Amino acid sequence: MKRNLELEAERPRGTPDCVIGRGVAVEGRLACGGFLRVEGRCSGSLESEGDIVVAEGAEVQADIKGRNVVVAGTAAGSIEAGDAVHLTSAARVKSSVVAKRFSMDEGAVFSGKVGRPAE
């Protein structure tokens, strides 16, 4: 059964292992061992062994690396996913993307390039 990554952006599975809440700003390198949800502002780099969700209203100017990455907010920098990257209709992204799968909803704004990982 295929997972609906857009729904995960709005209704995450369980409790995230790490949350950057609204009104919180983080600069530098943030590494998380599991599910990371960003609702605030980040700059630098975000890394997770699990999924990363950039929620609607979040602003990220960072290199992002995770298993699956869902963007519903604003992101600039590189995005690398072990599996999939999905942009929801609210996403505003200026980035280079490397992932096995890439999808975006109607209304999403994307400027950049998309490639597959080297095998």
Q: What is the pLDDT of residues 65-101, one digit of tens each?
A: 999 999 999 999 999 999 999 999 999 999 999 999 9
Please say whether the beta carbons of 88 and 101 come within 8 A. Answer: no
In a domain, 119, yes or no: no
Global pTM reads 0.87
pLDDT of residue 76: 97
Q: Does the residue 82 lie in any domain?
A: yes
Mean pLDDT of 26-39: 93
DSSP helix, strand, coil percent of the chain (3-state; round to 5): 5, 60, 35
Q: Which domain holds residue 27?
A: 5-110
Total tally of structural domains belonging to the chain: 1
Give the pLDDT band of residue 117 (cuts 50, 70, 90). confident
Non-local CB neighbours of 4 within 8 Å, separated by 6+ positions:
none
> What confidence tens digit (pLDDT) does each residue in 35-63 have?
999 999 999 999 999 999 999 999 999 99
Residue 44: inside a domain: yes
User: Residue 97: inside a domain, yes or no?
Assistant: yes
What's the confidence (pLDDT) of residue 2?
Answer: 43
Q: Which residue has the higher pLDDT, 13 or 45?
A: 45
The pLDDT value given to residue 4? 52
In a domain, 17, yes or no: yes
Examine residue 37 and state whether it is found in any structural domain, yes or no: yes
In a domain, 61, yes or no: yes
The pLDDT, as a whole number, for residue 17 is 85
> Does 46 reside within a domain?
yes
